[in-house]
Amino acid sequence: MDEKLLEIEDLCVEFPTEKGKIRPVDRVSLEIRTGTITGLVGESGCGKSMTARAVMNLIKKPGKMTGGRILLEGRDLGQMGAKERRLLQGREISMIFQDPMSSLNPVMKAGKQVDEVIRLHEGTDAGEARRRTIEMFAAVGIPDPERRYDAYPHELSGGLRQRVMIAMAMICKPKLLIADEPTTALDVTVEAQILELMEKLREGGTSILLISHNLGVIARMCEDVYVMYAGKIVEHAEIGTLFADPAHPYTKGLLRAVTSLQEETALLETIPGNVPQLYELPQGCRFSNRCAFATERCRADEPALRDLGGRECACFLEDRA
């Protein structure tokens, strides 16, 4: 069962800014196999959301997808007509966002926002749509679904709102769900519940691209992980390999940050420094200004993402091994 559901090839997203053109997504390639949860991890600002937005055709102006291809089951989304591509969304691919507080329309009843999806894609009539939405609410664990159908977003807790978002995303049984930091805005208990629900969705046959800055969440959920840094994929491996034997110094840093958090040691070993601004990237390897292993070569040339047999890594250290 190694069918490719989604393939992103050499995706580039560019934004013109006052300080020159920036590339929040720079030749990113990733694959999601059918029936898996694939993780995309990296510090805030590294381009995870932008990658997801490119798939959903939601890049805000003046940004633009300037290169690469996005294929869903082999169909090139960029080659489709505007309407055809639009109608794919919500039906075959759907997305949930980081902040469930602002992702729902404040002046529209929660239920209406969900049944809008089936009414659009399946032409369901109002009564039937309501019935199915309430059913879906129950399926995603919303208590008292009939009453919640008529609730406005401000009347629901953060966890319930995210469940409404999930119900909305799942009601047409899409093949792919893109979840962009779905639990970042929620507290830990609710986070666990939402992650459990997503695990159930996967068992129900939906493949998921799970985006998070939190390796703990990724470790719990994903089979396959992509690590992103400053617009590039720097490492890609199966979860077991990645945790047991991280290859890229950035991944190692991320892992140390997680374990030190988990053990609650006083020593909070995180990666020193900050993500560089995209208009002032260091020469050579983008991580070289923060990397403990950086050499002259790292500051001169940029390492390419190379296949290391079952895994990929973009670091010169791997040459010597």
Partner 1 sequence: MKRLLQAVLVLLLVSLALFVMLRIVPGNPVAVLMGEHANEATIERLTAELGLDQPIHVQFFRYLGGAIRGDFGTSYSLGKPVSQLMGAAFVNTLLLALAAALFAWIVGGLCGLLAAIRKNSIPDRLFMGFSLLGISMPVFMVAMILQYVFGYWLHWLPISGVSDWRSFILPAIALGWNSAGSIARLVRSTLADTLEDDYIDTARAKGLSETAVIWRHALRNTMLPTVTMMALQLSGLLSGAVITETVFSINGIGRLAVQAINGRDIPLLQGTVLFATALVIFGNLIADLLYKVLDPRTRREVKE
Ligand X SMILES: Nc1ncnc2c1ncn2[C@@H]1O[C@H](COP(=O)(O)OP(=O)(O)O)[C@@H](O)[C@H]1O
Which chain residues interact with Mg ion by CB under 5 A? 49
> Shortest Cβ distance from residue 253 to ligand X (Å)?
16
Q: Does 199 bind partner 1 (CB under 8 A)?
A: no
Interface with ligand SF4, residue 285, by CB under 6 A: yes
Radius of gyration of the chain (CA): 20
Among 10, 17, 126, 268, binds ligand X (CB under 6 A): 17
When asked if residue 271 is in the footprint of ligand SF4 (CB under 6 A), the reply is no
CB under 8 A: which stretch of 81-89, 197-205, 246-254, 300-308 binds partner 1? 81-89
CB 172 within 8 A of CB 137: no
Q: Does residue 107 touch partner 1 according to CB under 8 A?
A: yes
Position 177 contacts partner 1 (CB under 8 A): no
320 binds ligand X (CB under 6 A): no
Give the whole-angstrom CA distance, residue 3 versus residue 277.
37
CB closer to ligand SF4 out of 63 and 303: 303
Strand positions, DSSP E, 81-221: 93-96, 176-180, 207-212
- Name which of residues 265 to 304 contact ligand X (CB under 6 A): 278
The residues pairing with 76 across neighbouring beta strands, listed in sequence order, are 71
106 lies in the binding site for partner 1 (CB under 8 A): yes
Sheet holding 4-17, edge to edge: 20-33, 4-17, 64-72, 75-76
Non-local (6+) Cβ contacts of 183 within 8 A are 162, 190, 191, 194, 195, 212, 217
Q: Is 157 in the site for partner 1 (CB under 8 A)?
A: yes
From residue 43 to residue 72, what is the string marking binding to ligand X with x (rule CB under 6 A)?
Answer: -xxxxxxx---------x--x---------
Q: Which residues contact 97 (CB under 8 A, 6 or more apart)?
A: 103, 165, 180, 181, 182
Q: Interface with ligand X by CB under 6 A: which range of 42-50, 66-74, 183-191, 294-302?
A: 42-50
Please report how close the Cβ of residue 148 comes to partner 1 at its closest, in angstroms: 12
Residue 86 token pair: 């639009």
Q: Is 169 in contact with 95 (CB distance < 8 Å)?
A: yes
Pick from 272, 304, 305, 302: nearest CA to 289:
272
Tell me how far apart the terminal alpha carbons of the chain are, to the nearest angstrom: 32
CA pseudo-torsion sign 223, 100, 262, 308:
positive
Burial of 163 (0-12, 13-18, 19+ CB in 10 A): buried
Site string for ligand X, 19-38 (x = CB under 6 A): ---x-x--------------
Residues making contact with ligand X (CB under 6 A)? 15, 17, 22, 24, 42, 44-50, 60, 63, 278
Residues making contact with ligand SF4 (CB under 6 A)? 248-249, 285, 287-288, 291, 293-294, 298, 303, 315-317
Residues making contact with partner 1 (CB under 8 A)? 56-58, 60, 83, 86-91, 94-95, 97, 99, 102-108, 113, 116-117, 120-121, 152, 154-155, 157, 165, 168
